[in-house]
Amino acid sequence: MSFPPPNPSSRSLYPSFLSVQESIFLQLTWAKHGFIDGFRWDHVIGVVAGDAEIRSNIYKSLLLNTLSLISIYTFDLLLLPLVQDQLGQQKWMHRNVGSFYQVLWLFPVIGISFYLNSSWCSIIASRTFTLKHGSRRSAASEPATYTGMLTSIATSAYRIVMVFTSLVVSFALNNLPSIPYLPNVGPLLGFCFLCWLDSYYLFEFVWVARGLSLSRRIRYLEERWAYYLAFGLPSAALCTLGTGLANAAIFALVFPLYVVMAMHAQPVPFDPYSPYDSRKSSESDVIRHPSPFVPIRLPVFALVMFLNDWIVRIISVGGYGTRSTSHAHRRRMSEDSESVEEGGPRAGSRSVTPGINFSSRGSTSSRINIGKRKMD
């Protein structure tokens, strides 16, 4: 009597998970890497000293943002107390000297500095990326079309909406009502969100240069939430030293320097769903996944993306065509990258620098075969 060949046991097909302690330790290790990468001032000094173009733009950015910061504190420390003392004066000029200073000097200086700082940071990021990874593929070969121009405008508008909704979420978190036994949970959540928000904008130049769409950038950050939380901690801490416009000016002051750090950073893990799979020192042929009780992807921008789509749905009247295509266009606005403006590939392109795993969804087939053993 012959018996059928033995099938693989159910135990061998069941996924193998790390313990909760091991998963937490991995997250802490990745956070440590992010914190160290956020203090790599040696990279900044080396890049600034070694390239005249980067050095020139950083000096201009520091000078202009320092002027903005001095203007802000001049109003806060000198003119504001003077205005408060003059509130009882009958003369209209005395009562409105603070408003004149803000309208005629402070707001124009801050607006111009932010605009120029954005332009200079783009040059700094592009030049640093070229020095680090080589020149990226230019979009000059693609003909400039009316549709391409509309796509650029749409992605730029969506980016502005995202900045606005991020500020709204940050303000809401910082003003959450007190919870019994957790009185400071609101400011703590707001600070953590600010860390992730800073990291997003610091790494955005890298992701755009590599052709990642908006949805893939968000997913890439959320799947490495511990690393990016720690990387954004130093800049977020600096942005809490002042109040209001002063915090924004401080962030603009240090932004070019942290962009250089982001260009040289190496976010970990390579594959958050199988952190030991990519290690050469793996001692077992069984793929071990993080514990289900420790989140792999933390949806820190879920509310922001929901508000983005909600706002776009309100302001898009008519769209670019019929109503049946408006929803698809709105989804494309939230998923297309700003690479059209930066000269990178458009949505649907798979041109990504080889050697670095920037897949937003990881290896889908490897996650389906979650319990199988690795093949040599």
Write out pLDDT tens, residues 284-297: 566 788 888 999 99
Phi/psi region, residue 316 (left: phi>0; alpha: psi -120 to 50; beta: rest), is: beta
Mean pLDDT across the stretch 250-270? 92
CB of 174 within 8 A of CB of 190?
Answer: yes
Contact 373, 286 (CB under 8 A): yes
Average pLDDT value for residue range 42-61: 93
The more confidently predicted of residues 343 and 151 is 151
Residue with tokens 């990881």, as numbered in its chain: 362
Residue 40 has pLDDT above 90, yes or no: yes
Res 325 pLDDT > 90: no
Calculate the CA dihedral of residues 233, 237, 239, 243 and round it to 10 degrees: 150
**Share of the chain residues as helix, strand and coil, in percent rounded to the nearest 5:** 65, 0, 35
Among 21-35, 69-83, 168-182, name the one with the lowest average pLDDT.
69-83
What is the reported pLDDT for 367? 43
Instruction: Return the pLDDT at 249.
Output: 85
End-to-end Cα spacing for the chain: 35
- Single pTM value for the model: 0.76
β-pairing, 288-289 with 16-17? parallel
Across-strand partners of 288?
16
Task: Give me the mean pLDDT over the 1-25 stretch.
Answer: 72
The residue among 107 and 318 whose pLDDT is bigger is 107
Does pLDDT of 25 surpass 70?
A: yes
